[in-house]
Amino acid sequence: MQDEVILSLERMNTIHGIDKMSGILTCDAGVVLENLHSYAKSHNFLFPLDIGSKGTCQIGGNVSTNAGGQYFFRFGSLHATVMGMEVCLADGRILHLNISDDDDNAKRCGTNRKDNTGYDLKHLFIGGEGTLGIITKVAIACPVLPTSRNAMLLVCNSYENDVLELLQCAKNNLGEILSAVELMDYNTLECVQKHGLVGDCSASQLLKDLLDTPTQEQSSSTNSPLFILVETQGSHLENDTTTMDSFITQLFDNGTVQNGFVAQDNKQILEMWSIRESCNPCVSAEGCCYKFDVSIPVDEYMDVAYDVKSKLQQEESSVGDVRVCVWGHLADGNAHINVVTPGRHTKDINLAKRIETIVYGSVVSRKGSISAEHGLGQAKNEYLGQIKEKNTMDVMKQIRYTFDPHGIMNPNKYLPR
């Protein structure tokens, strides 16, 4: 730790407008994500990034950390949707990257969907975590607001046999209207039931019904039930509902799902999402949490958690009660693995190290990524140096030096020293 200046952009919170022909929204970096949702919606567009913390996080931080979230699968990464950017560099120079320096209106934001005039520098700042410059303004392309939304919560017995089949079936049968496939495991939903749902809507009966689903072979550790939230968004409610109904019928007919609940209205859709968004706070409430955000090839999605569980069990006497909870964006292969020591509140540094070694080892052996959508910060420095090729690390360091030769931007964070 050294003397540091923390910068808040929360007062740079102007939404400059949205171009109704292109759907490109231009705003300052300090705008709270949820305000962009409302603004885009009021102009018949959908803001293409959605994450649990939308009520407080700011778009500049989202872009700097390359946030992913539940719309990623359908509406694309920030590399796909950020069209323009204003950045302030370490030496005070300002870059306008496919964006105008003229604030008068979004129609004239000077942001083009296609622009091939030199290196596309803005991608370095997406996920650059402020180490190359401070994002002060962004232009983001929004699709037309879908008018029809459906959601269902399905219960499967086995990952290998059922969940993978469900996912393939969702991609093939729901096609272009599929908007999310989210997984939650049994341990996670038990925490949600115990610590209570966040948000306004009550989904406690639904949660109880989910957890009460009778399952086969529930005793096997790799076979406790898994809960899948499937959402569609489209333009024709009647068509979409028919499509979804035949999808669910097929899953029941071939025994892929054990149980399932279809949202009957928008309120019930929000209830399903409220269960999903309660995962993180409720698992955190259960005890001390060792949190991981990783990418894993989809057909080995649950295997990292199984590795952790079985390896920790081998040394259980020294570890005590440990629970592994998994949830995440299944369609993207993005798992949030949480190892919880119930009732404890302070981290055990040695245990943290052991769990990290198991998780990262298992992820790397499967050619996954140790950081999927939550950034590097300062916790992953050491591991980054181990898993990245030297050539890549060298180039990254050169890039950092090019932008910030005096090392004043987020010093000692992001890349290893």
- Segment 245 to 284, residues that bind its own copies, using CB under 8 A: none
Q: 387 to 406, contacts with its own copies by CB under 8 A?
A: 387-389, 391-396, 398-400, 402-403
Question: In the set 38, 105, 168, 220, which binds its own copies (CB under 8 A)?
Answer: 168
Q: How many alpha carbons lie under 13 Å from residue 217 in its C-beta half-sphere?
A: 8
CB of 279 to its own copies, least distance (A): 18
Segment interacting with its own copies, rule: CB under 8 A, options 19-27, 249-257, 264-272, 348-356: 19-27
Residues touching its own copies, count (CB under 8 A): 96
Question: In the set 43, 108, 149, 291, which binds its own copies (CB under 8 A)?
Answer: 108
| Residue with smaller CB distance to its own copies, 109 or 282 | 109
| Residue with smaller CB distance to its own copies, 205 or 391 | 391
CB of 67 to its own copies, least distance (A): 9
CB of 389 to its own copies, least distance (A): 6
Q: Applying CB under 8 A, does 120 fall inside the site for its own copies?
A: yes
What SS3 class is residue 20?
A: coil
Residue 254 buriedness (CB in 10 A; 0-12 / 13-18 / 19+): exposed
Nearest to 83 by CA among 10, 18, 3, 161: 18
Q: How many alpha carbons lie under 13 Å from residue 134 in its C-beta half-sphere?
A: 17
Q: In what order do the strands lie in the sheet with 94-97?
A: 15-18, 24-28, 134-141, 82-88, 94-97
Q: 88 to 107, contacts with its own copies by CB under 8 A?
A: 89, 93-98, 100, 107
Segment interacting with its own copies, rule: CB under 8 A, options 10-18, 184-192, 210-218, 290-298: 290-298
Q: In angstroms, how far is CA 57 from the centroid of its own chain?
A: 13
What SS3 class is residue 126?
A: coil
Residue 57 buriedness (CB in 10 A; 0-12 / 13-18 / 19+): middle
Question: In the set 201, 270, 285, 298, which binds its own copies (CB under 8 A)?
Answer: 298
Question: In the set 176, 245, 315, 382, which binds its own copies (CB under 8 A)?
Answer: 176
CB of 4 to its own copies, least distance (A): 21
Q: Applying CB under 8 A, does 372 fall inside the site for its own copies?
A: yes
CB of 298 to its own copies, least distance (A): 4
Measured distance CA(194)–CA(286) in Å, rounded: 8
Q: 306 to 365, contacts with its own copies by CB under 8 A?
A: 329, 332-334
Measured distance CA(170)–CA(153) in Å, rounded: 13
Question: In the set 8, 117, 317, 346, which binds its own copies (CB under 8 A)?
Answer: 117
Question: In the set 10, 104, 115, 321, which binds its own copies (CB under 8 A)?
Answer: 115
Q: Applying CB under 8 A, does 287 fall inside the site for its own copies?
A: no
| Residue with smaller CB distance to its own copies, 9 or 384 | 384
Measured distance CA(392)–CA(390) in Å, rounded: 5
CB of 294 to its own copies, least distance (A): 9
Q: How many CB atoms lie within 10 A of CB 407?
A: 13
Q: Applying CB under 8 A, does 414 fall inside the site for its own copies?
A: yes
Helix or strand holding residue 358 (H, E):
helix 349-365
Q: 147 to 166, contacts with its own copies by CB under 8 A?
A: 147, 164
Q: Applying CB under 8 A, does 132 fall inside the site for its own copies?
A: yes
Residue 338 and residue 301 in contact, taking contact as beta carbons nearer than 8 Å: no
CB of 91 to its own copies, least distance (A): 10
Segment interacting with its own copies, rule: CB under 8 A, options 232-240, 261-269, 273-281, 343-351: 232-240
Residue 123, C-beta contacts closer than 8 angstroms, at least 6 positions apart: 79
Q: Applying CB under 8 A, does 368 fall inside the site for its own copies?
A: yes
| Residue with smaller CB distance to its own copies, 91 or 316 | 91
Question: In the set 172, 218, 357, 378, which binds its own copies (CB under 8 A)?
Answer: 172
Nearest to 226 by CA among 194, 183, 192, 256: 183
Nearest to 341 by CA among 382, 300, 288: 288
Task: Output DSSP code: residue 254.
Answer: T
Place of tokens 């916790």: 379
Measured distance CA(183)–CA(124) in Å, rounded: 31
CA separation (Å) from 311 to 220, 306, 357?
Answer: 16, 8, 11
Residue 129 and residue 413 in contact, taking contact as beta carbons nearer than 8 Å: yes
Strand partners, 382: none
Q: 31 to 90, contacts with its own copies by CB under 8 A?
A: 44, 65-66, 68, 72, 76-77, 79-80, 89
CB of 151 to its own copies, least distance (A): 17
